[in-house]
Amino acid sequence: MEKYLSLSGNHSSNKRSLEGLSAFGSLEELILDNNLLGNDLVLPGLPRLHTLTLNKNQITDLESLLDHLAEVTPALEYLSLLGNVACPNELISLEKDEEDYKRYRCFVLHKLPNLKFLDARKVTRKEREEALVRGSFMKVVKPKASSDHVEAPPEHPYTPLPSASRDLTNHRGVLGKCRYVYYGKNSEGNRFIRDDQL
């Protein structure tokens, strides 16, 4: 009986390529890294599976994946989703930060409370307690695109330049004065403001 199986780098993007896993009922570790697996991922019931890595795939719908894993892998203790859109990571997307990753961990632990490791990091007692209290509120919801209301594209695309400088044949310089305020997530406060600007 096989207990360990690695299908990394096979670029198995369709469900049929994973149908054969049902023959491995005693499988304990499954590595599916570097494939083209997406939200249509369907695993057979693997009651003994305790380690699953799905790194560097194309998974975007975290909640449906976690619901599926809770159903088919009840003994799961180690899960890694690094390199997927569903796993917010500063190294993958500049729009994500450590707080996004903490919310992600909390939501995953809410859905899969038996995990001991998530993304190569041990689950702490504090994370487990927070997942019990706040995990259900950490779901990331994307607004649905409304098909009823379609905006017509503007006749002239927006540009912050004055109308006099929009003409490409007119190369006059334009001088403007504005007060710039930085609202970034990782603001360093007044570090770069000179004393004469206070």
Residues 151-171 pLDDT 10s: 655 565 666 555 655 565 665
**Contact, 27 vs 51, CB < 8 A?**
no
Burial class (CB in 10 A: 0-12, 13-18, 19+), 178: exposed
> Does 76 score more than 90 pLDDT?
yes
State the average pLDDT over residues 121-133. Answer: 90
5 φ/ψ angles, rounded to the nearest 5 degrees: -145, 130
Report the chain's C-alpha Rg in angstroms. Answer: 24
Could you tell me the maximum CA-CA distance found in the chain, to the nearest angstrom? Answer: 77
Q: What is the mean pLDDT of residues 187-194?
A: 59
Nearest to 5 by CA among 38, 58, 51, 70: 51
Out of 7-21, 78-92, 139-153, pick the least confident: 139-153
Alpha-carbon distance 43 to 37, whole Å?
11
Residues 44 and 134: their CA atoms lie apart, in Å, by 30
- Is the Cβ–Cβ distance between 78 and 50 less than 8 Å? yes
Residue 43 has what pLDDT?
A: 92
Sign of CA dihedral 56, 60, 63, 68: negative
User: Sorting pLDDT into bands at 50, 70 and 90, what band is 131?
Assistant: confident
Q: What is the pLDDT of residue 23?
A: 85
Instruction: Give me 19's structure tokens.
Output: 């149908």
**CA–CA separation, 111 and 104 (whole Å):** 11
Instruction: Assess whether pLDDT exceeds 70 at residue 148.
Output: no
